[in-house]
């Protein structure tokens, strides 16, 4: 959990320091993956009975907001990537 949570902040910072959108997106993607890993770690703690589900809920809510922010940064820096809900599907 410590490694993954540190990775969120460091990769977001490094991504912001990159000059090209693909470079930025690469680091934002890594940060997003680390945030999802943190959420999974909280799930594991709760499922093993090491932590009460109510105790991990605020952390999971915060991680949901962090992931949303990172997805927004990825979308803002990427014209070439498909985004869910973007564009219209062709019909035959």
User: How confident is the model over 64-91, as pLDDT tens digits?
Assistant: 999 999 999 999 998 755 555 555 444 4
Kindly report, residue by residue over 6-51, the tens digit of the pLDDT.
Answer: 999 999 999 999 999 999 999 999 999 999 999 999 999 999 999 9
Q: Look at the chain and report how many structural domains it folds into.
A: 1
| Residue with token string 């499922």 | 47
User: What is the C-alpha separation between 31 and 43, in angstroms, rounded?
Assistant: 19
In terms of C-beta density within 10 A (0-12 exposed, 13-18 middle, 19 or more buried), how is residue 90 classed? Answer: exposed
Indicate if the pLDDT at residue 63 is higher than 60: yes
Q: How far is CA 20 from CA 13, 26, 29, in A?
A: 14, 10, 14
CATH number for the domain that contains residue 41: 1.20.1440.60
- Does a structural domain hold residue 87? no
Residue 71 lies in a domain: yes
In a domain, 33, yes or no: yes
Whether residue 51 is contained in a domain is answered as yes
Q: What is the 3-state secondary structure (H, E, C) of 21-40?
A: HHHHHHHHHHHHHHHHHHHH
The answer as to whether 7 is a domain residue is yes
Q: Does 81 fall in a domain?
A: no
- What pTM was estimated for this model as a whole? 0.81
Q: Look up the domain containing 33 and give its range.
A: 2-76
């Amino acid at each position: 959990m410590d490694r993954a949570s540190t990775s969120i902040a460091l990769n977001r910072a490094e991504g912001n320091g990159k000059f090209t959108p693909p470079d930025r997106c690469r680091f934002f993607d890594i940060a997003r993956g680390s945030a999802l890993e943190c959420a999974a770690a909280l799930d594991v703690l709760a499922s093993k009975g090491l932590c009460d589900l109510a105790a991990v809920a605020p952390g999971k809510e915060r991680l949901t907001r962090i992931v949303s922010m990172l997805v927004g940064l990825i979308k803002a820096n990427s014209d070439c990537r498909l985004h869910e809900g973007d564009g219209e599907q062709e019909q035959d």
